[in-house]
Amino acid sequence: MKKILLSMFLGILIGIIIGVSIILIRTAFIPRPKRVKPDNIPVSAFLIGGYDGYYWIDLVEIRNDTIRFNFYNYKTNLLVYDADFILDNCGAFSLTKSNWSDYVVFFDDRLCNCTILIEDHYCQLIALQPAYFKRE
């Protein structure tokens, strides 16, 4: 009986080791397909998002006190939001044409989150209303 249990345990253990090894080899050596940017998405746009969805984001312009972005749905490639945003709780930090893509990481309806931590909160971009365009 002990030999049977030991054989089963070793079989399961070896199976787990082989499974984990295959996953590691596959992720390390098999290239992942690149995300192809559709023709209607601006060349300057890049992908932001997370587990709940992605958007192509494109900087339209930066003015003295506002930043205008266009957001395109990753699945449909349609423009879903076009609005001016203002920085909120960002202290002296400001976004520029050369650094904005390093900091804007998430979009949720009227709010963009940035990776800049100011004291105990993250800098945010809040959309001014009404937006130029919002797909319902």
Domain parsing of the chain, residue ranges: 1-32, 46-134
What is the pLDDT at residue 20? 83
What is the pLDDT at residue 63? 92
What is the pLDDT at residue 121? 82
What is the pLDDT at residue 32? 54
Note if the pTM is more than 0.85: no
Task: Name 57's Cβ contacts closer than 8 Å, sequence gap at least 6.
Answer: 45, 46, 47, 48, 69, 70, 71, 72, 104, 107
